[in-house]
């Protein structure tokens, strides 16, 4: 059987790859420090799980919903967006998805065809270029500037736009760097997309972890936002529901209408139990979310403080609530080689920089969202003690 030549060239899922290394590491008694995947270590809110337990026996929970999601759930999300963004997102501009990754696929297959181009800010979330490669869409990497922490530069991006460009893709807060793109820059990118009649796709999976709960941007206040803006969203990190696959695509009503053609062939609908979890969250858990945002902020502050103390040869380039982007000190070694050494010699699991874009072998991504404050000093100590 012949496989697609497109998928044959795509690298294996990075998290699955590095987790396979664990079976090969020596039994030296060290407890693993897992800085690999951004998963909240805390459970969903007790009142949320109690609510779900109370409705789980309802026969409707086992049924399909409309492809785009239950009307009452999308209405509750629309109300949440008025609070969060101060703008209007109507229920018919929302499609609930199987995680943010499926929302991204929906957006891309609605916008693009094979041979088109999407400009992606580097370093980027690895699933995005993987999906583009599988679909035969060219990823055009906007350059990573270390001094700018990997933030997008509209002046650099505008020179990458060609007649084949269909979208500019930015993740904010960034996975993998944690850096937050300012509302002003997001607006400039939106205006750039509008001038060229392309889309700005903004992945805001970590939007509830911006310090102080600051509004990420004002685009939804623009009456014409849907003409050139597509948002990828997730409630998985927000409500500690990563396994529930609580994603969302937000776009114009016309865009959603066409995206539902792909939705029906991909997944039909998001599970009802997930939809009810999201509805409860947006209606009742604002304070719980704020408390976890503050807790993650404390972890971030402690991690930065420990990591930047003198004597650490690993250099912190950028960081945020879930991630740190680090330059490793081993000249001539790839990020993959250094990450493998960290597993074998220090029982630290992280991801190599090169999976986040070309030319990034000198970096590592650390995801400290699932490491509690008490474990952070020990985690950083293992970096400090790594030998040449």
Cα–Cα distance measured from residue 348 to residue 149, given in angstroms and rounded to the nearest whole number:
24
pLDDT band at 43, cuts 50/70/90?
Answer: very high
For 261, the token pair is 């053609």
pLDDT band at 371, cuts 50/70/90?
Answer: confident
The CATH number of the structural domain formed by 46-286 is 3.40.640.10
CATH 3.40.640.10 domain extents, the chain: 46-286
pLDDT band at 39, cuts 50/70/90?
Answer: confident
Residue 27 pLDDT: 77
Q: Is the distance from CB of 228 to CB of 186 less than 8 angstroms? A: no
Q: pLDDT tens digits for 295-345?
A: 999 999 999 999 999 989 999 999 998 899 999 999 889 999 999 999 999
pTM summary value: 0.95
Question: For the chain, what is the mean pLDDT?
Answer: 94
Residue 10 pLDDT: 84
Higher pLDDT: 17 or 183? It is: 183
Q: CA geometry: angle at 374 spanning 369 and 375, to 5°?
A: 65
Q: Is the pLDDT of residue 369 over 90?
A: no
Cα–Cα distance measured from residue 258 to residue 126, given in angstroms and rounded to the nearest whole number:
26
What spatial distance separates the first Cα and last Cα of the chain, rounded to whole Å? 46
Angle between helices 71-85 and 272-284 (to 10 degrees): 30
Domain spanning 5-43+288-384, CATH architecture: Alpha-Beta Complex (3.90)
Q: Is the distance from CB of 232 to CB of 100 less than 8 angstroms? A: yes
Q: Is the pLDDT of residue 4 over 90?
A: no
Q: pLDDT tens digits for 57-88?
A: 999 999 999 999 999 999 999 999 999 999 88
CATH 3.90.1150.10 domain extents, the chain: 5-43+288-384
Q: Provide the pairing of β-strand 229-234 with 246-250.
A: antiparallel
The average pLDDT across 92-104 equals 97
């Amino acid at each position: 059987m012949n496989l697609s030549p497109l998928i044959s060239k795509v690298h294996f899922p990075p998290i699955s790859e590095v987790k396979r290394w664990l079976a090969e590491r020596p039994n030296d008694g060290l407890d693993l420090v897992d800085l690999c995947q951004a998963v909240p270590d805390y459970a969903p809110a007790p009142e949320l799980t109690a609510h779900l337990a109370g409705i789980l026996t309802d026969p409707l929970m086992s049924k399909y919903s409309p492809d785009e999601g239950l009307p009452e759930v999308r209405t509750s999300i629309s109300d949440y967006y008025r609070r969060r963004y101060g703008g209007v997102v109507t229920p018919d501009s929302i499609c609930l998805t199987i995680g943010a990754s499926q929302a991204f696929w929906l957006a891309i297959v609605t916008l693009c065809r094979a041979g088109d181009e999407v400009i992606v800010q580097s370093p980027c979330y690895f699933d995005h270029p993987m999906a583009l490669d599988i679909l035969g869409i060219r990823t055009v990497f906007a350059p990573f500037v270390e001094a700018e922490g990997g933030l997008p530069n509209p002046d650099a991006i505008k020179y990458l736009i060609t007649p084949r460009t269909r979208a500019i893709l930015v993740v904010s807060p960034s996975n993998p760097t944690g850096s937050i793109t300012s509302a002003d820059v997001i607006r400039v990118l939106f205006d750039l997309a509008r001038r060229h009649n392309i889309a700005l796709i903004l992945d805001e999976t970590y939007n509830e972890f911006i310090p102080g709960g600051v509004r990420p941007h004002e685009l939804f206040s623009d009456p014409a936002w849907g003409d050139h803006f597509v948002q990828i969203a997730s409630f998985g990190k927000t409500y500690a529901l990563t396994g529930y696959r609580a994603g969302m695509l937000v776009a114009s009503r016309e865009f959603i209408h066409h995206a539902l053609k792909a939705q029906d062939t991909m997944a039909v609908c998001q599970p009802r139990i997930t939809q009810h979890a999201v509805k409860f969250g947006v209606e009742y858990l604002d304070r719980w979310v704020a408390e976890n945002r503050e807790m993650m902020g404390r972890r971030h502050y402690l991690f930065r403080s420990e990591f930047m103390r003198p004597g650490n040869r690993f250099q912190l380039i950028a960081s945020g609530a879930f991630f740190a982007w680090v330059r490793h000190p081993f000249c001539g070694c790839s990020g993959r080689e250094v990450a493998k050494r960290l597993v074998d010699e220090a029982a630290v699991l992280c991801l190599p920089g090169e999976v986040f874009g070309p030319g990034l072998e000198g970096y590592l991504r650390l995801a400290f969202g699932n490491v509690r404050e008490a474990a952070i000093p020990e985690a950083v100590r293992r970096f400090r003690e790594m030998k040449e």
